[in-house]
């Protein structure tokens, strides 16, 4: 037996719904990698979808362990803070590196640099 047997039915349903929502959003974000055509479009779907999916997973984890321990458990919020800070920064660095590379190669798919850059 696992410790999840002690989870009340209402909490188990809530945790299951949150996990399914998180998995669905992560899946939709991953589908963006397959459907979108170029890097600049492709980079947004996984970033947004998987980040929101992760927040639903964290909400499920916080709910599950808070109910099991009988007190609020917020350690997982650190994961959410880390994701909130690092995901946009990583996205920005990847896009800037790709823009620089594509402009140096003279790719036609990339807009030219504006005068104020």
Q: What is the pLDDT of residue 13?
A: 95
Q: What is the pLDDT of residue 111?
A: 62
pTM of the complete model:
0.78
* Each residue's pLDDT expressed in tens, for the chain with a length of 117 residues: 477 788 899 999 999 999 999 999 988 888 888 888 888 878 877 777 778 888 999 999 999 999 999 898 888 899 888 988 888 888 889 889 988 888 888 877 776 666 665
- In angstroms, the Cα distances linking 97 to 36, 46, 56, 92 are 19, 18, 31, 9
Distance between CA atoms of 3 and 1, rounded to whole angstroms? 7
DSSP H helical ranges for 1-117: 9-35, 39-42, 44-69, 77-105
Q: What is the pLDDT of residue 34?
A: 84
């Amino acid at each position: 037996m696992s410790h999840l047997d002690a989870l009340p039915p209402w909490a188990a349903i809530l945790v299951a719904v949150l996990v399914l929502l998180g998995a669905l959003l992560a899946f939709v974000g991953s589908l963006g990698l397959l459907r979108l055509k170029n890097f600049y479009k492709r980079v947004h779907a996984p970033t947004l979808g998987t980040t929101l999916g992760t927040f639903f997973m964290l909400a499920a984890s916080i709910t599950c362990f808070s109910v099991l321990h009988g007190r609020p458990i917020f350690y997982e919020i650190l994961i959410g803070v880390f994701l909130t800070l690092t995901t946009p920064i990583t996205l920005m660095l990847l896009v800037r590196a790709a823009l620089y590379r594509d402009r140096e190669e003279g790719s036609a798919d990339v807009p030219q640099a504006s005068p104020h850059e």
